[in-house]
Amino acid sequence: MATEDEHATHPDIAAMLTDQTSACNAARGAIAAGGEVQVSDREVPHWMVHGIAATRLKWSLKRGLPKTLGLDEAVDILARHRGEQLRTGTILAADGLSFFTLYFDATGTELLACSGVQRSPTPSTNDSLEP
């Protein structure tokens, strides 16, 4: 039976976000503001991770979503890791307005890329009512 000390721990994600893509700064800010970070312990094939990212990019370009951050860069970076196993993670901003996808090597110790989506806050119905 493995002890707690034998289990690998995830490194400091904020420290790993070192400008791999244009989304890294915003992702660091989301973590600093209390965002929730999750990293998968499961390895997945490159084709799956790259395919999902490329499809998201295609749809965001088709729909003209200007709030997508670093996705084009992430797709390019992931293309260089063909045939490898990868891991993914997510950051959900505390305010719920930003969501980031993290792309790691198979061990989860090297952050390859980061992409994000930022939504504009929607006014509540109470905000639009006059006093």
pLDDT, average across residues 23-43 = 95
H or E element, residue 118:
strand 111-118
Tell me the per-residue pLDDT of 84-119, one tens digit each, with 9 for 90 and over. Answer: 999 999 999 999 999 999 999 999 999 999 999 988
| pLDDT at 120 > cutoff 90 | no
Distance CA 73, CA 115 (A): 8
Tell me the per-residue pLDDT of 34-67, one tens digit each, with 9 for 90 and over. Answer: 999 999 999 999 999 999 999 999 988 888 766 8
